Structure 1
């Protein structure tokens, strides 16, 4: 990753079981912890299209880990390194290690799933943003995971026109470690609609107007005690490139 931001700092902190997690930080002020999506990394989701810069300019500190098996973080091939909800365990370790107390929590896709399950497990951010997410993406994860496991299994066979083509293309672009990715996919826990009642802080469900990859954002809003919906242009893949994503984050987190 090329550092084109003069105030970007990168450090390594221990996650669950001591796994190295790369954490990128930009700006100063109230911390915002940003969790990227599957097969992506902090740079792709948060820095490349200016969202972290926009948050930093608005007076926040953007804290952006590369999740386990992604980016510059550890990609172990030992199945023991991927217990159920290992990303949530990493999240708890990260919050403790860097001493976060009053902070906001933002996720995109897999990051939203991790953020929601972290709150259900006891994290207490001031505000929460679940982007690229609908109800079925939380409550029906096993079906979603099966799609990506199939894409990994057929990686070298998938051609244009195959439903898995864009997933495989993105994995190639990101140089995904498929062994680590497969282990990680099997570790992600499912979420029941009843568990969502534990997410009581103000929550923004932020979704591309043409993004229903993870189900219905409207149903997710209905299932949460204190949530509202904001839509921005784009599909699941293209919405992260929209400046509106960063603008909506700043608007909601500045309230």
Structure 2
């Protein structure tokens, strides 16, 4: 996979789909990577077949990108700067941006830092949790750092530890990330995001927070409820994909 250097880190990405198409930048969620979040669920094929230039980054600490162990590396502003730097590296002046979960939070910080580079936004798997927080995640770092998964009893922490073990992730980097990347936006910050936005959340998602409350803060937002899906299963849902295609077409 190609990579570039930013903030003294090597960050990997892919740049595929239709080269002459409208670019869309994809930003994955916590403990995932560009393949797990966007290739395996069919997003690359869906967007590429629709004529888009599809760009996706491995966030720092994830996938094939460098994995610093200090918590200060994972504040969302710095992760948003990575995404901005990737577009500049590829000489893409403006793109649609879609993030899922942590990636949605990073996308929001990106829109605040470089609004001229963001054509539209898709916030997947994150609603009012962007402002109010997304519940208790403190145990996840401890679960990631435990000597054995057998000692991890919290269901959510155990699920992330199992996933990290299966993907061969750097658990120290992920623990640092989960401690720093959940910085909340204020309602005032959200109101400053003026580009068209779509908020897509599963009806069984108990992490994201209300998509309607977040939409009420955004000047130009619409909500898509993904029926019967929780936080994990909503990612590749066909209702989600169809809604994104329609949203992008309306903001072409």
TM-score, normalised by the number of residues in structure 1: 0.87
Show structure 2 runs of 5+ residues with no match.
none
- Between the two proteins, the alignment pairs up a number of residues equal to 243
| Aligned mates of 1:127, 1:83 — CA distance in 2 | 23
| Aligned mates of 2:76, 2:202 — CA distance in 1 | 29
After superposition, the C-alpha distances for 1:31-77 in whole angstroms (9 at most, x for unaligned) are 00000110001111111021111101111011011110001111123
Q: 1:84 to 1:219 in 2, by over 3 A?
A: closer
For residue 92 of structure 2, give the secondary structure of its aligned residue in structure 1: coil
8 Å Cα contact 1:27-1:62 kept in structure 2: yes
Matched, 1:182 2:172: no
After superposition, the C-alpha distances for 1:143-162 in whole angstroms (9 at most, x for unaligned) are 55524324324463124x73
Q: What is the aligned partner in structure 2 of residue 162 from structure 1?
A: 155
After superposition, the C-alpha distances for 1:101-129 in whole angstroms (9 at most, x for unaligned) are 13100000000000001112233311110
Show structure 1 runs of 5+ residues with no match.
1-9
8 Å Cα contact 2:199-2:215 kept in structure 1: yes
Any residues of structure 2 matched to 1:68-217 within 5 Å, and which? 68-78=60-70, 81-82=73-74, 85-124=77-116, 125-136=118-129, 138-141=130-133, 143-154=135-146, 156=149, 157-159=151-153, 162-188=155-181, 189-217=183-211
The alignment yields a C-alpha RMSD, in angstroms, of: 2.1
After superposition, the C-alpha distances for 1:179-217 in whole angstroms (9 at most, x for unaligned) are 111222333232111110111111000111211312111
8 Å Cα contact 2:200-2:223 kept in structure 1: yes
